[in-house]
Amino acid sequence: MAVEYAQRDQMVAEAEQLLEDDEELFYTEIDDLQNHGIGAADINKLKSAGICTIRGVQMTTRKNLCKIKGLSEAKIDKIKEAAGKIQAMQLPPSMGGSSSKAAFIDTEGTFRPDRIRAIAKRFQIDEDAALENILVARAWNSDHQMDLITEVAARFAEEKGIYRLLVIDSIIALFRTDYSGRGELAERQQKLNAMLNRLSKIAEEYNVAVYITNQVSSDPGGGLTFVADPKKPVGGHILAHASTTRLSLRKGRGEERIAKVYDSPDMPEAEATYAIATGGITDASG
């Protein structure tokens, strides 16, 4: 029996060590570059560009680093080399951890604290504590939206391992307002692509899930085909390719709602029904 307890304690200790190594790899602060000969001034330039971790340096191409004012190619090579040395001393990630806080970027003014309170009450969670664990920021235009994403990433770096979810509701609304003409479509898609690439890096760099909502528009050619609901997602192929799993939500009969797996690398296309009640999402069957 003593042997079994010893083995169990050893397994627990090993698991805790793996989690510590995982956190260290994901959230090694960029200030550690000073220990490898990188000056504080150059580190501040990286931070100003939204790069706050060693992994962030590794994920940024030399081409994009060269765009940072004040960093020469020689300095960039030195920074890349130092970041590589730091990561070489760390173990591979074990992919784990529990959720804690969430960040919510609201582009349409639809975030309602009362809804969070009702959901928390349903699951017997302290309502004030639930709200305190959600960082909410209101975006007013597409440029501001990008700035908020950069600020949120900096918060993720400051509070290492605390945030596990980033929600943007919706990703496309402000772009449709700022770039309304057909002549501005190319510029809109280019900036949208840059934002999606940034979100993808944030997801990898800080080990957070990124959940974005989209909008739909009427498909002019949909009425000519045998399609029950002639609507298509806004954002085009750029938004489609940037998403890992896409869900289509639509209204059914009465209070019923239908969720469809629109596209996913590991789940078959399927539908499920649900209902939205005071306390959140519930079984449609009641």
Q: State pLDDT tens for residues 181-226.
A: 888 888 988 999 999 999 999 999 999 999 999 887 776 655 555 5
pLDDT tens for residues 131-183?
999 999 999 989 899 999 999 999 999 998 899 999 999 899 999 888 888 88
> At residue 4, does pLDDT exceed 60?
no
Q: Between residues 213 and 237, which one has the greater pLDDT?
A: 213
- What does pTM read for this prediction? 0.67
Domain boundaries, the chain: 2-88, 101-242, 244-286
Q: The domain 101-242 is classified under which CATH number: 3.40.50.620, 3.30.70.890, 3.40.50.300, 3.40.190.10? A: 3.40.50.300
> At residue 20, does pLDDT exceed 60?
no
Poorest-pLDDT segment among 11-20, 32-41, 118-127, 259-268? 11-20
Q: The domain 2-88 is classified under which CATH number: 2.60.40.1220, 3.40.640.10, 1.10.3720.10, 1.10.150.20? A: 1.10.150.20
| Short-list 24, 27, 28, 66, CA closest to 46 | 66
